[in-house]
Structure 1
Amino acid sequence: MLKSFEQHIKIATDNQLAIECLASHTELSKQKLKEAMNKGCVWLTAGKKTQRIRRAKKTLKCGQTLHIYYDEKVLSAEPSVPELIADESDYSVWNKPSGLLSQGSKWGDHCTITRWAEQHLTPQRNSFVVHRLDRAASGIILVAHSKTAAAKLSHLFATRAISKTYHAMVEGVWPFEASQTINQPIDGKPSVSHVIPLTIDKVNETSLLEVSIETGRKHQIRRHLAESGFPIVGDRLYDSTILDDDLMLMAVKLAFVCPLSHSEKLYQLTTNF
Protein backbone atom coordinates (compact mmCIF):
# COMPACT_ATOMS: atom_id res chain seq x y z
CA MET A 1 0.00 0.00 0.00
CA LEU A 2 1.26 3.48 -0.87
CA LYS A 3 2.15 5.52 2.19
CA SER A 4 0.28 8.74 2.93
CA PHE A 5 0.39 10.86 6.08
CA GLU A 6 0.72 14.37 7.39
CA GLN A 7 2.59 15.49 10.48
CA HIS A 8 2.94 18.81 12.28
CA ILE A 9 6.02 19.22 14.46
CA LYS A 10 6.27 22.02 17.01
CA ILE A 11 9.91 23.15 17.32
CA ALA A 12 10.95 23.25 20.97
CA THR A 13 14.60 24.35 20.67
CA ASP A 14 16.61 26.65 18.44
CA ASN A 15 19.08 25.61 15.73
CA GLN A 16 17.58 22.27 14.75
CA LEU A 17 18.01 21.36 11.07
CA ALA A 18 14.84 20.64 9.13
CA ILE A 19 16.13 17.28 7.87
CA GLU A 20 17.13 16.15 11.36
CA CYS A 21 13.79 17.16 12.80
CA LEU A 22 11.85 15.33 10.08
CA ALA A 23 14.02 12.22 10.40
CA SER A 24 13.42 12.04 14.15
CA HIS A 25 9.65 12.38 13.80
CA THR A 26 8.98 10.12 10.78
CA GLU A 27 10.03 6.68 9.59
CA LEU A 28 11.39 8.03 6.30
CA SER A 29 15.08 7.92 5.40
CA LYS A 30 16.92 11.21 4.99
CA GLN A 31 17.24 10.54 1.27
CA LYS A 32 13.45 10.14 0.91
CA LEU A 33 12.94 13.24 3.01
CA LYS A 34 15.29 15.28 0.83
CA GLU A 35 13.45 14.12 -2.29
CA ALA A 36 10.11 14.96 -0.67
CA MET A 37 11.30 18.43 0.32
CA ASN A 38 12.50 19.10 -3.21
CA LYS A 39 9.08 18.10 -4.53
CA GLY A 40 7.38 20.61 -2.28
CA CYS A 41 5.53 18.78 0.48
CA VAL A 42 7.33 20.31 3.48
CA TRP A 43 6.20 23.64 4.96
CA LEU A 44 7.30 25.88 7.81
CA THR A 45 5.08 28.16 9.91
CA ALA A 46 6.90 31.10 11.49
CA GLY A 47 4.52 33.48 13.22
CA LYS A 48 1.55 34.06 10.93
CA LYS A 49 3.44 33.05 7.78
CA THR A 50 3.56 29.53 6.33
CA GLN A 51 5.93 28.84 3.45
CA ARG A 52 7.12 25.85 1.50
CA ILE A 53 10.76 24.95 2.31
CA ARG A 54 13.12 22.81 0.26
CA ARG A 55 16.50 23.16 1.98
CA ALA A 56 17.29 20.10 4.08
CA LYS A 57 19.68 22.15 6.24
CA LYS A 58 17.22 24.95 6.94
CA THR A 59 17.80 26.07 10.54
CA LEU A 60 14.66 26.09 12.67
CA LYS A 61 13.75 28.26 15.66
CA CYS A 62 11.82 27.56 18.84
CA GLY A 63 8.10 28.20 18.39
CA GLN A 64 8.01 27.45 14.65
CA THR A 65 6.00 24.52 13.28
CA LEU A 66 7.28 22.14 10.61
CA HIS A 67 4.69 20.41 8.44
CA ILE A 68 5.09 17.43 6.13
CA TYR A 69 2.31 16.26 3.78
CA TYR A 70 3.63 12.99 2.40
CA ASP A 71 1.79 11.01 -0.25
CA GLU A 72 3.76 8.46 -2.24
CA LYS A 73 1.21 8.53 -5.07
CA VAL A 74 1.57 12.30 -5.48
CA LEU A 75 5.36 12.31 -5.11
CA SER A 76 5.92 9.42 -7.52
CA ALA A 77 4.09 11.18 -10.38
CA GLU A 78 6.23 12.30 -13.30
CA PRO A 79 5.53 15.74 -14.79
CA SER A 80 4.50 16.01 -18.43
CA VAL A 81 7.04 18.09 -20.36
CA PRO A 82 5.92 21.58 -21.50
CA GLU A 83 7.30 23.54 -24.45
CA LEU A 84 8.76 27.01 -23.96
CA ILE A 85 7.13 29.42 -26.40
CA ALA A 86 8.81 32.65 -25.26
CA ASP A 87 11.05 33.82 -22.43
CA GLU A 88 10.19 37.46 -21.80
CA SER A 89 12.44 37.73 -18.72
CA ASP A 90 9.74 39.06 -16.38
CA TYR A 91 7.45 36.25 -17.48
CA SER A 92 7.56 33.20 -19.72
CA VAL A 93 5.00 31.69 -22.08
CA TRP A 94 4.54 27.92 -22.29
CA ASN A 95 2.61 25.28 -24.17
CA LYS A 96 1.27 23.23 -21.26
CA PRO A 97 0.53 19.59 -22.07
CA SER A 98 -2.45 17.73 -20.72
CA GLY A 99 -1.65 16.33 -17.29
CA LEU A 100 0.61 19.15 -16.10
CA LEU A 101 -0.81 21.21 -13.24
CA SER A 102 -1.10 24.99 -13.18
CA GLN A 103 -0.36 25.10 -9.47
CA GLY A 104 0.54 22.73 -6.69
CA SER A 105 -1.00 21.81 -3.36
CA LYS A 106 0.30 21.25 0.15
CA TRP A 107 1.17 17.71 -0.99
CA GLY A 108 3.68 18.87 -3.61
CA ASP A 109 4.37 21.06 -6.64
CA HIS A 110 6.85 19.11 -8.78
CA CYS A 111 4.22 18.41 -11.45
CA THR A 112 3.35 22.08 -11.99
CA ILE A 113 4.26 24.47 -14.79
CA THR A 114 5.64 26.96 -12.24
CA ARG A 115 8.07 24.46 -10.71
CA TRP A 116 9.11 23.26 -14.16
CA ALA A 117 9.89 26.85 -15.15
CA GLU A 118 11.95 27.39 -11.99
CA GLN A 119 14.02 24.30 -12.68
CA HIS A 120 14.53 24.65 -16.44
CA LEU A 121 14.81 28.34 -17.33
CA THR A 122 18.21 29.99 -17.73
CA PRO A 123 18.92 32.08 -15.76
CA GLN A 124 16.94 30.53 -12.92
CA ARG A 125 14.09 32.60 -11.50
CA ASN A 126 11.24 32.25 -9.05
CA SER A 127 7.87 31.51 -10.62
CA PHE A 128 4.40 32.77 -9.74
CA VAL A 129 0.94 31.70 -10.91
CA VAL A 130 -0.79 34.23 -13.18
CA HIS A 131 -3.79 32.25 -14.43
CA ARG A 132 -4.82 28.61 -14.70
CA LEU A 133 -5.58 25.93 -17.24
CA ASP A 134 -7.40 22.79 -16.21
CA ARG A 135 -5.04 19.88 -15.60
CA ALA A 136 -6.63 17.96 -18.48
CA ALA A 137 -6.48 20.93 -20.89
CA SER A 138 -3.45 21.98 -22.93
CA GLY A 139 -2.12 25.13 -24.52
CA ILE A 140 -0.78 28.60 -23.75
CA ILE A 141 -0.11 29.57 -20.16
CA LEU A 142 1.84 32.49 -18.67
CA VAL A 143 4.23 32.18 -15.72
CA ALA A 144 5.46 35.33 -13.94
CA HIS A 145 8.97 35.62 -12.50
CA SER A 146 8.51 38.46 -10.02
CA LYS A 147 5.73 39.49 -7.67
CA THR A 148 5.33 42.73 -9.60
CA ALA A 149 4.92 40.92 -12.91
CA ALA A 150 2.52 38.44 -11.33
CA ALA A 151 0.32 41.21 -9.93
CA LYS A 152 0.23 43.19 -13.18
CA LEU A 153 -0.42 40.17 -15.41
CA SER A 154 -3.05 38.78 -13.03
CA HIS A 155 -4.76 42.18 -13.16
CA LEU A 156 -5.14 41.78 -16.94
CA PHE A 157 -7.09 38.59 -16.45
CA ALA A 158 -9.13 39.99 -13.55
CA THR A 159 -10.16 43.06 -15.57
CA ARG A 160 -10.72 41.09 -18.80
CA ALA A 161 -8.02 43.10 -20.56
CA ILE A 162 -6.68 40.01 -22.29
CA SER A 163 -8.06 38.11 -25.29
CA LYS A 164 -8.24 34.34 -24.73
CA THR A 165 -9.08 31.90 -27.53
CA TYR A 166 -9.50 28.13 -27.29
CA HIS A 167 -10.16 25.26 -29.66
CA ALA A 168 -12.43 22.43 -28.58
CA MET A 169 -13.35 19.20 -30.34
CA VAL A 170 -16.87 18.32 -29.27
CA GLU A 171 -19.22 15.41 -29.73
CA GLY A 172 -22.06 16.11 -32.11
CA VAL A 173 -22.66 18.15 -35.26
CA TRP A 174 -22.68 21.83 -34.30
CA PRO A 175 -25.89 23.22 -35.89
CA PHE A 176 -24.96 26.88 -36.23
CA GLU A 177 -22.88 28.55 -38.93
CA ALA A 178 -22.57 31.96 -37.32
CA SER A 179 -21.05 32.86 -33.98
CA GLN A 180 -23.14 31.89 -30.98
CA THR A 181 -22.97 33.32 -27.48
CA ILE A 182 -23.53 31.16 -24.42
CA ASN A 183 -24.27 33.24 -21.34
CA GLN A 184 -25.49 30.58 -18.93
CA PRO A 185 -24.44 31.54 -15.37
CA ILE A 186 -22.00 29.21 -13.61
CA ASP A 187 -22.37 28.75 -9.86
CA GLY A 188 -24.62 31.79 -9.84
CA LYS A 189 -22.07 34.05 -11.53
CA PRO A 190 -22.34 35.66 -15.00
CA SER A 191 -20.41 33.62 -17.59
CA VAL A 192 -20.01 34.44 -21.28
CA SER A 193 -18.52 32.25 -24.02
CA HIS A 194 -18.55 32.96 -27.77
CA VAL A 195 -18.48 29.94 -30.12
CA ILE A 196 -17.56 29.79 -33.81
CA PRO A 197 -17.55 26.49 -35.77
CA LEU A 198 -14.32 25.71 -37.63
CA THR A 199 -14.86 22.23 -39.09
CA ILE A 200 -17.74 19.76 -38.94
CA ASP A 201 -17.23 16.00 -39.32
CA LYS A 202 -20.69 14.58 -40.07
CA VAL A 203 -19.33 11.06 -40.49
CA ASN A 204 -17.80 10.86 -37.01
CA GLU A 205 -20.30 13.35 -35.59
CA THR A 206 -17.74 15.69 -34.11
CA SER A 207 -17.15 19.43 -34.47
CA LEU A 208 -14.07 21.59 -34.02
CA LEU A 209 -15.06 24.87 -32.37
CA GLU A 210 -13.27 28.11 -31.61
CA VAL A 211 -14.28 29.52 -28.25
CA SER A 212 -13.42 32.93 -26.82
CA ILE A 213 -14.40 33.77 -23.26
CA GLU A 214 -15.20 37.03 -21.54
CA THR A 215 -15.23 35.49 -18.07
CA GLY A 216 -13.01 32.85 -16.50
CA ARG A 217 -15.23 30.64 -14.36
CA LYS A 218 -14.01 27.22 -13.28
CA HIS A 219 -14.47 24.75 -16.16
CA GLN A 220 -16.43 27.43 -18.02
CA ILE A 221 -15.93 26.16 -21.56
CA ARG A 222 -16.37 22.54 -20.57
CA ARG A 223 -19.60 23.27 -18.71
CA HIS A 224 -21.05 25.63 -21.30
CA LEU A 225 -20.51 23.18 -24.14
CA ALA A 226 -21.67 20.13 -22.18
CA GLU A 227 -24.80 21.94 -20.98
CA SER A 228 -25.48 22.89 -24.61
CA GLY A 229 -25.43 19.18 -25.54
CA PHE A 230 -21.91 19.16 -27.01
CA PRO A 231 -19.45 17.75 -24.45
CA ILE A 232 -15.78 18.05 -25.29
CA VAL A 233 -14.20 14.82 -26.51
CA GLY A 234 -12.34 13.13 -23.67
CA ASP A 235 -14.13 15.06 -20.92
CA ARG A 236 -14.63 12.45 -18.21
CA LEU A 237 -16.15 15.01 -15.87
CA TYR A 238 -18.79 16.42 -18.17
CA ASP A 239 -20.46 13.53 -19.96
CA SER A 240 -18.19 12.76 -22.92
CA THR A 241 -18.82 9.30 -24.36
CA ILE A 242 -15.53 9.32 -26.31
CA LEU A 243 -12.90 8.66 -23.66
CA ASP A 244 -10.01 7.21 -25.68
CA ASP A 245 -8.31 10.60 -25.93
CA ASP A 246 -7.09 13.33 -23.62
CA LEU A 247 -9.44 16.26 -23.14
CA MET A 248 -9.57 17.97 -26.53
CA LEU A 249 -9.51 21.52 -25.22
CA MET A 250 -6.54 23.73 -26.09
CA ALA A 251 -5.72 27.37 -25.34
CA VAL A 252 -4.47 28.50 -28.75
CA LYS A 253 -4.16 32.29 -28.49
CA LEU A 254 -3.45 35.01 -25.92
CA ALA A 255 -3.34 38.67 -26.93
CA PHE A 256 -2.77 41.65 -24.64
CA VAL A 257 -0.84 44.85 -24.07
CA CYS A 258 2.05 43.96 -21.79
CA PRO A 259 1.71 45.97 -18.55
CA LEU A 260 5.50 45.96 -18.14
CA SER A 261 6.76 46.93 -21.61
CA HIS A 262 3.46 48.47 -22.84
CA SER A 263 3.92 46.64 -26.14
CA GLU A 264 1.30 44.53 -27.89
CA LYS A 265 1.78 40.80 -27.40
CA LEU A 266 0.28 37.90 -29.36
CA TYR A 267 1.06 34.24 -28.71
CA GLN A 268 -0.50 31.56 -30.90
CA LEU A 269 -0.40 27.78 -31.28
CA THR A 270 -1.63 25.41 -33.96
CA THR A 271 -4.24 22.96 -32.72
CA ASN A 272 -2.83 19.45 -32.45
CA PHE A 273 -6.15 17.62 -32.80
Structure 2
Amino acid sequence: MELEILYQDDALIAVNKPAGMLVHRSWLDSHETVFVVQTLRDQIGQHVFPLHRLDRPTSGVLLFGLSSEVAALMMPVFAGREMHKTYHAVVRGWVKEAAVLDYPLKVMLDKIADKKATEDKEPQAAVTAYAPLATVETDIAVGRYATSRYSLIELQPETGRKHQLRRHMHHLDHHMIGDVNYGDGKHNRMFRENLDCHRLMLHASRLQFIHPLTGAALDIRADVDDVWQRVMTTFNWSPSLLLNA
Protein backbone atom coordinates (compact mmCIF):
# COMPACT_ATOMS: atom_id res chain seq x y z
CA MET A 1 0.00 0.00 0.00
CA GLU A 2 1.00 3.63 -0.48
CA LEU A 3 0.59 6.19 2.25
CA GLU A 4 -1.04 9.53 1.47
CA ILE A 5 1.67 12.19 1.71
CA LEU A 6 0.25 15.44 3.11
CA TYR A 7 3.45 17.52 3.13
CA GLN A 8 7.06 17.04 2.08
CA ASP A 9 10.19 19.16 1.80
CA ASP A 10 13.89 18.49 2.32
CA ALA A 11 13.52 18.29 6.11
CA LEU A 12 10.03 17.02 6.95
CA ILE A 13 7.35 14.70 5.63
CA ALA A 14 3.82 14.17 6.90
CA VAL A 15 1.42 11.36 6.04
CA ASN A 16 -2.21 10.52 6.74
CA LYS A 17 -1.86 7.43 8.93
CA PRO A 18 -4.61 4.86 8.37
CA ALA A 19 -6.52 3.58 11.38
CA GLY A 20 -5.25 0.19 12.52
CA MET A 21 -1.70 0.68 11.28
CA LEU A 22 1.21 0.65 13.73
CA VAL A 23 3.76 3.46 13.51
CA HIS A 24 6.68 1.09 14.10
CA ARG A 25 7.45 -2.41 15.36
CA SER A 26 6.21 -3.26 18.83
CA TRP A 27 6.55 -6.25 21.13
CA LEU A 28 2.82 -5.89 21.77
CA ASP A 29 2.02 -6.78 18.17
CA SER A 30 4.88 -9.07 17.22
CA HIS A 31 2.79 -10.77 14.52
CA GLU A 32 2.32 -7.54 12.55
CA THR A 33 4.35 -7.04 9.39
CA VAL A 34 3.17 -3.64 8.10
CA PHE A 35 4.29 -0.40 9.77
CA VAL A 36 4.17 3.26 8.81
CA VAL A 37 7.92 3.79 9.26
CA GLN A 38 8.96 0.95 6.96
CA THR A 39 6.18 1.60 4.45
CA LEU A 40 7.08 5.28 4.14
CA ARG A 41 10.81 4.54 3.98
CA ASP A 42 10.25 2.14 1.10
CA GLN A 43 7.82 4.54 -0.58
CA ILE A 44 10.20 7.53 -0.70
CA GLY A 45 13.49 5.63 -0.72
CA GLN A 46 15.08 7.12 2.38
CA HIS A 47 15.09 6.78 6.14
CA VAL A 48 12.47 8.63 8.18
CA PHE A 49 12.50 9.59 11.85
CA PRO A 50 9.15 9.60 13.74
CA LEU A 51 8.68 12.90 15.59
CA HIS A 52 5.64 11.80 17.60
CA ARG A 53 3.22 8.88 17.65
CA LEU A 54 -0.40 8.07 17.07
CA ASP A 55 -1.96 5.05 18.70
CA ARG A 56 -2.66 2.16 16.37
CA PRO A 57 -6.44 2.76 16.14
CA THR A 58 -6.08 6.52 15.57
CA SER A 59 -5.85 7.97 12.05
CA GLY A 60 -4.53 11.30 10.82
CA VAL A 61 -1.51 13.58 10.53
CA LEU A 62 1.77 11.87 11.40
CA LEU A 63 4.99 13.86 11.05
CA PHE A 64 8.52 12.58 10.36
CA GLY A 65 11.93 14.16 10.08
CA LEU A 66 14.12 13.22 7.14
CA SER A 67 17.32 13.38 9.20
CA SER A 68 18.34 12.84 12.80
CA GLU A 69 19.39 16.51 12.95
CA VAL A 70 15.89 17.72 12.06
CA ALA A 71 14.41 15.23 14.51
CA ALA A 72 16.56 16.73 17.26
CA LEU A 73 15.40 20.24 16.33
CA MET A 74 11.75 19.17 16.49
CA MET A 75 11.95 17.49 19.90
CA PRO A 76 11.49 20.73 21.90
CA VAL A 77 8.67 21.80 19.57
CA PHE A 78 6.65 18.72 20.53
CA ALA A 79 7.75 18.87 24.16
CA GLY A 80 6.61 22.48 24.57
CA ARG A 81 3.48 24.38 23.57
CA GLU A 82 4.67 25.32 20.06
CA MET A 83 2.93 22.36 18.41
CA HIS A 84 -0.81 22.83 18.04
CA LYS A 85 -2.75 19.59 17.51
CA THR A 86 -6.40 19.33 16.54
CA TYR A 87 -8.35 16.07 16.72
CA HIS A 88 -11.92 15.12 15.96
CA ALA A 89 -13.90 12.37 17.65
CA VAL A 90 -17.37 10.89 17.88
CA VAL A 91 -18.47 10.33 21.46
CA ARG A 92 -21.54 9.00 23.26
CA GLY A 93 -23.98 11.53 24.69
CA TRP A 94 -24.46 15.19 23.92
CA VAL A 95 -21.52 17.46 24.67
CA LYS A 96 -23.35 20.73 25.33
CA GLU A 97 -20.60 23.33 25.63
CA ALA A 98 -16.93 23.96 25.05
CA ALA A 99 -14.64 23.63 28.03
CA VAL A 100 -11.10 22.86 29.15
CA LEU A 101 -10.56 19.72 31.22
CA ASP A 102 -7.62 19.90 33.61
CA TYR A 103 -7.53 16.40 35.02
CA PRO A 104 -4.20 14.76 35.94
CA LEU A 105 -3.66 11.22 34.66
CA LYS A 106 -1.86 8.36 36.32
CA VAL A 107 1.33 7.29 34.56
CA MET A 108 0.75 4.23 32.36
CA LEU A 109 3.82 2.02 32.46
CA ASP A 110 4.91 -0.28 29.66
CA LYS A 111 5.09 -3.86 30.94
CA ILE A 112 8.51 -4.45 29.38
CA ALA A 113 10.15 -1.07 28.76
CA ASP A 114 9.18 0.20 32.22
CA LYS A 115 9.41 -3.06 34.17
CA LYS A 116 11.98 -1.57 36.59
CA ALA A 117 10.09 1.70 37.04
CA THR A 118 8.15 2.49 40.17
CA GLU A 119 4.36 2.42 39.92
CA ASP A 120 3.67 4.93 42.67
CA LYS A 121 4.38 8.07 40.63
CA GLU A 122 2.20 11.11 41.14
CA PRO A 123 -0.45 11.66 38.42
CA GLN A 124 0.83 13.88 35.63
CA ALA A 125 -0.80 17.15 34.62
CA ALA A 126 -3.11 16.63 31.62
CA VAL A 127 -5.12 19.37 29.93
CA THR A 128 -7.53 19.04 26.99
CA ALA A 129 -9.68 21.73 25.37
CA TYR A 130 -12.80 20.37 23.70
CA ALA A 131 -15.82 21.76 21.89
CA PRO A 132 -19.03 20.30 20.43
CA LEU A 133 -19.53 20.63 16.67
CA ALA A 134 -22.72 18.63 16.08
CA THR A 135 -25.12 16.25 17.83
CA VAL A 136 -27.56 13.56 16.79
CA GLU A 137 -30.25 11.41 18.39
CA THR A 138 -30.98 8.11 16.68
CA ASP A 139 -33.99 5.83 17.08
CA ILE A 140 -31.73 2.85 17.73
CA ALA A 141 -32.10 1.50 21.25
CA VAL A 142 -28.88 1.03 23.20
CA GLY A 143 -29.03 -0.50 26.65
CA ARG A 144 -32.11 0.59 28.57
CA TYR A 145 -32.74 3.67 26.42
CA ALA A 146 -35.08 3.77 23.41
CA THR A 147 -32.82 6.17 21.54
CA SER A 148 -29.09 6.92 21.47
CA ARG A 149 -27.28 10.26 21.41
CA TYR A 150 -23.89 11.12 19.99
CA SER A 151 -21.69 14.17 19.48
CA LEU A 152 -19.02 15.20 17.02
CA ILE A 153 -16.36 17.07 18.94
CA GLU A 154 -13.08 18.87 18.39
CA LEU A 155 -10.22 18.28 20.83
CA GLN A 156 -6.98 20.17 21.34
CA PRO A 157 -4.61 18.56 23.85
CA GLU A 158 -2.33 20.97 25.68
CA THR A 159 -0.28 18.09 27.11
CA GLY A 160 0.69 14.74 25.66
CA ARG A 161 -0.08 11.96 28.11
CA LYS A 162 -0.63 8.38 27.00
CA HIS A 163 -4.20 7.88 25.74
CA GLN A 164 -4.96 11.36 27.08
CA LEU A 165 -7.94 12.18 24.86
CA ARG A 166 -9.59 8.80 25.30
CA ARG A 167 -9.06 8.82 29.07
CA HIS A 168 -10.32 12.38 29.41
CA MET A 169 -13.50 11.62 27.47
CA HIS A 170 -13.99 8.52 29.63
CA HIS A 171 -13.66 10.73 32.71
CA LEU A 172 -16.42 13.00 31.34
CA ASP A 173 -18.63 9.97 30.58
CA HIS A 174 -18.49 10.83 26.86
CA HIS A 175 -16.72 7.65 25.79
CA MET A 176 -15.22 7.63 22.31
CA ILE A 177 -16.94 5.34 19.87
CA GLY A 178 -14.82 2.30 19.03
CA ASP A 179 -12.61 2.67 22.09
CA VAL A 180 -12.06 -0.87 23.37
CA ASN A 181 -9.92 0.29 26.31
CA TYR A 182 -11.98 3.07 27.88
CA GLY A 183 -15.19 3.08 25.85
CA ASP A 184 -18.72 1.72 26.18
CA GLY A 185 -19.14 -1.73 24.63
CA LYS A 186 -22.87 -1.30 24.00
CA HIS A 187 -22.36 1.79 21.86
CA ASN A 188 -19.35 0.30 20.11
CA ARG A 189 -21.49 -2.68 19.17
CA MET A 190 -24.27 -0.41 17.86
CA PHE A 191 -21.79 1.30 15.52
CA ARG A 192 -20.40 -2.02 14.33
CA GLU A 193 -23.81 -3.57 13.64
CA ASN A 194 -25.64 -0.54 12.26
CA LEU A 195 -22.94 1.59 10.63
CA ASP A 196 -20.30 -1.02 9.76
CA CYS A 197 -17.91 1.03 11.89
CA HIS A 198 -15.16 -1.15 13.33
CA ARG A 199 -12.64 1.54 14.22
CA LEU A 200 -11.90 4.07 16.94
CA MET A 201 -13.58 7.31 15.93
CA LEU A 202 -10.59 9.50 16.71
CA HIS A 203 -8.78 11.38 13.94
CA ALA A 204 -5.73 13.66 14.14
CA SER A 205 -6.97 16.32 11.76
CA ARG A 206 -4.37 19.04 11.94
CA LEU A 207 -0.84 20.00 13.01
CA GLN A 208 0.25 23.65 13.19
CA PHE A 209 3.82 24.65 13.97
CA ILE A 210 6.79 26.71 12.85
CA HIS A 211 9.23 25.00 10.49
CA PRO A 212 12.49 24.49 12.40
CA LEU A 213 14.69 25.49 9.45
CA THR A 214 12.72 28.01 7.37
CA GLY A 215 10.65 29.67 10.09
CA ALA A 216 7.55 29.29 7.93
CA ALA A 217 4.20 28.63 9.59
CA LEU A 218 2.99 25.15 8.58
CA ASP A 219 -0.63 24.02 8.73
CA ILE A 220 -0.95 20.34 7.78
CA ARG A 221 -4.39 18.73 7.55
CA ALA A 222 -5.61 15.20 6.95
CA ASP A 223 -8.98 14.15 5.54
CA VAL A 224 -11.02 11.42 7.25
CA ASP A 225 -11.46 7.94 5.79
CA ASP A 226 -14.50 6.21 4.26
CA VAL A 227 -15.76 4.98 7.63
CA TRP A 228 -15.77 8.50 9.02
CA GLN A 229 -17.50 9.78 5.90
CA ARG A 230 -20.19 7.11 6.20
CA VAL A 231 -20.89 8.00 9.84
CA MET A 232 -21.01 11.71 9.01
CA THR A 233 -23.44 11.10 6.14
CA THR A 234 -25.68 8.83 8.24
CA PHE A 235 -25.93 11.48 10.96
CA ASN A 236 -26.37 14.35 8.45
CA TRP A 237 -23.22 16.03 9.69
CA SER A 238 -21.64 18.29 7.09
CA PRO A 239 -18.02 17.57 6.09
CA SER A 240 -17.40 21.30 6.48
CA LEU A 241 -17.56 20.79 10.26
CA LEU A 242 -14.15 19.12 10.01
CA LEU A 243 -12.73 21.40 7.35
CA ASN A 244 -13.42 24.53 9.37
CA ALA A 245 -11.37 23.40 12.33
- TM-score, structure 1 normalization: 0.66
Q: Matched residue of 1:143: which SS? A: strand
Matched, 1:183 2:102: yes
Q: Which amino acid aligns with 2:40?
A: A
The C-alpha deviation readout for 1:28-80, integer Å capped at 9, x for no partner, is xxxxxxxxxxxxxxxxxxxxxxxxxxxxxxxxxxxxxxxxxxxxxxxxxxxx7
Q: 1:200 aligns with which of 121, 135, 154?
A: 135
CA-CA distance at 1:257 after TM superposition: 0.5
Matches of 1:162 and 1:97, distance apart in 2: 22
- In the alignment, is the contact (CA less than 8 A) between 2:6 and 2:221 conserved in 1? no
Matched, 1:227 2:171: yes
In the TM superposition, 1:164-175 aligns within 5 A as 164-174=85-95
Task: Find the counterpart in structure 2 of residue 111 from structure 1.
Answer: 34
Task: Find the counterpart in structure 1 of residue 119 from structure 2.
Answer: none
Matches of 1:256 and 1:129, distance apart in 2: 16
CA-CA distance at 1:205 after TM superposition: 0.8
Higher helix share: 2
Q: Which amino acid aligns with 1:97?
A: P
The C-alpha deviation readout for 1:161-211, integer Å capped at 9, x for no partner, is 11000000001111x23x211111111000000011000012341100000
CA-CA distance at 1:239 after TM superposition: 2.5
CA RMSD of aligned residues (A): 1.7
Matched, 1:93 2:14: yes
Task: Find the counterpart in structure 2 of residue 248 from structure 1.
Answer: 201
In the TM superposition, 1:57-96 aligns within 5 A as 82-96=3-17
Matches of 2:150 and 2:2, distance apart in 1: 28
Pick closer, same or farther for the CA change 1:117–1:109 going to 2, 3 Å: farther
Report the count of equivalent residues. 190
Matches of 2:150 and 2:3, distance apart in 1: 27
Higher strand share: 1
Q: Matched residue of 1:173: which SS? A: coil
- With 195-204 and 109-118 compared, the bigger mean Cα shift is at 109-118
- In the alignment, is the contact (CA less than 8 A) between 2:17 and 2:61 conserved in 1? yes
RCO comparison, higher one (Cα < 8 Å, 6+): 2
Task: Find the counterpart in structure 2 of residue 120 from structure 1.
Answer: 43
Percent of aligned pairs sharing the same letter: 31
CA-CA distance at 1:83 after TM superposition: 1.3
> Which is higher, the Rg of structure 1 or of structure 2?
1
Q: Which amino acid aligns with 2:128?
A: S
- In the alignment, is the contact (CA less than 8 A) between 1:166 and 1:253 conserved in 2? yes
The C-alpha deviation readout for 1:217-242, integer Å capped at 9, x for no partner, is 00000000011101110001112221
Q: Matched residue of 2:100: which SS? A: strand
CA-CA distance at 1:154 after TM superposition: 2.3
Q: Matched residue of 2:130: which SS? A: strand
Matches of 1:252 and 1:103, distance apart in 2: 21
CA-CA distance at 1:110 after TM superposition: 4.5
